[in-house]
Amino acid sequence: MKSNMDLKQHSQAQQYALKALKTYGAFAETWLGQLDDLAARPNRKEYSPVAAAAAARTIREAVQHREQQKERCCQKCGKQVAFHEFERSMRLFQRIYCGKCFDETCVKRRNRETGVEEKKDIKTVDGTLVQSTGEKMIANWLANARLEYRYDGCLRIMDGFQIRPDFYLPQFDVFIEYWGMDTLRVWGNTVR
């Protein structure tokens, strides 16, 4: 009975300690590993694992908040970078770029990869300037079908992939990405 009481008191003390730790917020970042361990302990009847999980959650939120508040500058142009821009550019380039420099870098990289230079000099039926006959065919088809479209939108990250959809249909929220290869293989022959 006595030892039970001791254990209970001990568990209570632990709980208070955990609650106290929680108030340190981001300053308690180094404790996160131990808190996770404590929170993951199976079949513990005491409240400590729950308190540990709560403390870890609060500290993580504080750390995230601190990261979001940090001032960061674009490595290219020096402009201040918003947190979502920072996250995105770190994920793709492991460098800090503002939205504009991010887009420019993506375009440069894409052009380098495909060997295609930005050149829009083909006119479609509605006067839009596009880059290839393939794109012209799509644009003409959309225009003839009286479907509203936007050509050559911004770069987007979708499901972790970097894409720059050539056409966007706002009525349907649909992107069309034309893979600008001018050659098409049919029956083993190359048709241009």
Q: Which residues make up the interface to Zn ion (CB under 5 A)?
A: 74, 76-77, 79, 98, 101
| Identity of the residue, 14 or 75, whose beta carbon is nearer to Zn ion in the bound complex | 75
Q: Enumerate the H helices of the chain as residue ranges.
A: 2-22, 32-39, 48-69, 83-93, 99-114, 133-144
Angle at the Cα of 140 (from 158 to 162), degrees rounded to 5? 15
Smallest distance, Zn ion to C-beta of residue 102, A: 8
| Identity of the residue, 52 or 74, whose beta carbon is nearer to Zn ion in the bound complex | 74
| Identity of the residue, 28 or 101, whose beta carbon is nearer to Zn ion in the bound complex | 101
Tokens 């208070």 belong to 16
CA distance 128 to 151: 8
Smallest distance, Zn ion to C-beta of residue 100, A: 5
- Whole-Å CA distances, 155 to 29, 56, 152, 159, 168: 35, 36, 9, 13, 12
Smallest distance, Zn ion to C-beta of residue 104, A: 8
| Identity of the residue, 77 or 184, whose beta carbon is nearer to Zn ion in the bound complex | 77
Smallest distance, Zn ion to C-beta of residue 70, A: 17
